[in-house]
Amino acid sequence: MSRPRILLTRKLPPEVEARAIRSYDADRNMDDRLYAREEMLARAAGKDGLLATVTDRIDAELISALPESMRIIATFSVGYDHIDIAAAAARNIVVTNTPDVLTDATAEIAMLLMLGAARGANAGAATIREGRWKNWAPTGMLGREISGKRLGILGLGRIGRAVARRARAFGMTIHYHNRSRLDAASEESAVFHPDIVSMFAVSDVLSIHCTSTPETRGLINRRSLALLPPGAILVNTARGDIVDDDALIEALASGHVAAAGLDVFNNEPNLHPGYLELPNAFLLPHLGSATFETRNAMGFRALDNLDAFFAGHTPPDRVGA
């Protein structure tokens, strides 16, 4: 029996590719180029499945041009805002993601950003690298402690809860806003706010963990930033489009937001150049899930979904319709 034909849109970790070629007739992206639309479609011809990533914009137009043979899109990511789920459903194409396996790695990056932003890691490291460090100074390069502060979590899901657990070890008190309140066991004594107004007002640190949806896009804007206590710190490991860049850059420049730790951006990798001018912006290039352990686990999870689908089962991480 011939094996299902799948297209890997990006180069994946070696163990993941090894498993992919054992189970599938897999078309790999050996030099890890970003395929332009025409090339993606040409390579998708005759394929049964797509193993895609967050760098692929799988919109309605692309989906409508995919070959008849295409039956599943397994994204190597927990987020699937880059895929038009409704358009896929309309074509009977199943979509899956990779939840759970990147929770700890992303929570670690959120803590790194929180600490890095609070303590001015960016400016401090630049002082050393550029040979500008003169001496230890009682009043030099002072940051803020996160210990004992209030952490507002926008989106207390899997990753938000993992961040909350780590933040509690720093003595932080946890506040959160979700569309609906969690049960007590999931809250782990975090304080629920039915709206962002009351939560932002108590967020010495605000960490964003919600998904990108039409409702959350641009939620961090001039109006909402003004609700934060002066000197607050903002962390984003979710999606860049939740933040209005001009508004955040303005708030960082004025000091109303003392510092930001950002791992995700609008229009990656071409982030707003204004961030580069700001010493109080601690910036990382979308590293949330970038560990050996997690990237393997994401690949295996995507393959588990493909395996289940081609064995005639509902894949465990099916999303949308």
* Strand boundaries in the chain, DSSP class E: 5-8, 25-27, 49-52, 72-75, 94-96, 150-154, 173-177, 191-192, 205-208, 232-236, 257-262, 281-283, 318-319
The rounded distance, in Å, linking the Cα atoms of 102 and 268 is 20
State the nearest-atom distance from the C-beta of 222 to ligand DGY, in Å: 26
State the nearest-atom distance from the C-beta of 238 to ligand DGY, in Å: 8
Cα–chain center distance at 127? 29
Strand-strand pairing, 318-319 and 257-262? unpaired
74: buried, middle or exposed (CB in 10 Å: 19+, 13-18, 0-12)? buried
Cβ closest to ligand DGY, residue 279 vs residue 285: 285
State the nearest-atom distance from the C-beta of 68 to ligand DGY, in Å: 29
State yes or no: is 286 an active-site residue: yes
Residue indicated by tokens 């599938």: 24
State yes or no: is 239 an active-site residue: yes
State the nearest-atom distance from the C-beta of 58 to ligand DGY, in Å: 13
320: buried, middle or exposed (CB in 10 Å: 19+, 13-18, 0-12)? middle
The closest alpha carbon to 244, from 285, 207, 281, 272, belongs to 272
State the nearest-atom distance from the C-beta of 103 to ligand DGY, in Å: 10
Cβ closest to ligand DGY, residue 78 vs residue 107: 78
Task: Give me the catalytic one of 119, 175, 193, 286.
Answer: 286
Task: Give me the catalytic one of 268, 277, 293, 313.
Answer: 268
The closest alpha carbon to 227, from 177, 180, 158, 173, belongs to 177
Extract the tokens encoding 9.
């849109």
Extract the tokens encoding 321.
């319709």
Cβ closest to ligand DGY, residue 177 vs residue 295: 295
Cβ closest to ligand DGY, residue 6 vs residue 105: 105
Cβ closest to ligand DGY, residue 122 vs residue 294: 294
Binding site for ligand DGY (CB under 6 A): 54, 77-79, 102, 288-289
State the nearest-atom distance from the C-beta of 262 to ligand DGY, in Å: 13
Cβ closest to ligand DGY, residue 54 vs residue 249: 54
142: buried, middle or exposed (CB in 10 Å: 19+, 13-18, 0-12)? exposed
| Residue pair 24/306 in contact by the 8 Å Cβ criterion | yes
Task: Give me the catalytic one of 19, 239, 295, 301.
Answer: 239
Q: Residue 120: what residue type?
A: G
The single-letter DSSP state of residue 276 is: G
Please list the active-site residues: 239, 268, 286
